[in-house]
Amino acid sequence: MESKDIIERHDTELGSIRIADEVVAIIAGLAATEINGVAGMSGGLAGGIAEMLGRKNLSKGVKVEVGEKEAAVDMFIIVEYGVKIPDVAINIQENVKKAIESMTGLNVVEVNVHVQGVVFPQPESKDEEHRVK
């Protein structure tokens, strides 16, 4: 019985090679966070606020559909304030496609980028130690 989230890639003389959907999602998440301007992955809209996830949860901001030879990816990201969002999105699409195809052999048919939020730079705080003498 084959699990729905595991795809069979090849039957070889030595056996079969299987890649889990979760593996494809992690590859996509890591490839997206390598792009300048990406503040992090989003876990979706929880109460109207995008929840930013750390590196441990790379696959949580990614949804993949994987077939025998093709994959489609939806990325949910948070960008840094001041970046050109279309440029960041295109760079994500190219990097995710390249990473998945080179590591799994799957043909990536689409990478949809959903911008869920913007992170603003933190104001530089003055030395709080010198505030009171």
Summarize pLDDT for 57-107 with one digit per residue, the tens: 667 889 999 988 899 999 999 999 999 999 999 999 999 999 999 999 999
User: Is the pLDDT higher at 121 or at 28?
Assistant: 28
CA-wise closest residue to 100 among 5, 16, 32, 2: 32
Task: Identify the residue whose tokens are 């993949």.
Answer: 64
CA-wise closest residue to 77 among 34, 27, 103, 38: 38
Residue 75, pLDDT score: 94
Residue 67, pLDDT score: 87
Q: How far is Cα 32 from Cα 58, in angstroms, rounded to an integer?
A: 9
Residue 107, pLDDT score: 95
pTM over 0.85: no
Output the six-digit token pair for 106: 């799957």
For the chain, the domains span 20-119
Q: How far is Cα 21 from Cα 43, in angstroms, rounded to an integer?
A: 17
Check whether 18 has a pLDDT greater than 90.
Answer: no
Q: How far is Cα 133 from Cα 25, in angstroms, rounded to an integer?
A: 53
Asked if 35 and 88 count as a contact pair (C-beta separation under 8 A), the reply is yes
Check whether 112 has a pLDDT greater than 70.
Answer: yes
Q: How far is Cα 98 from Cα 92, in angstroms, rounded to an integer?
A: 10
CATH architecture entry for 20-119? 2-Layer Sandwich (3.30)
Asked if 73 and 30 count as a contact pair (C-beta separation under 8 A), the reply is no
Encode pLDDT of 22-64 as tens digits: 999 999 999 999 999 999 888 765 544 455 555 556 678 899 9
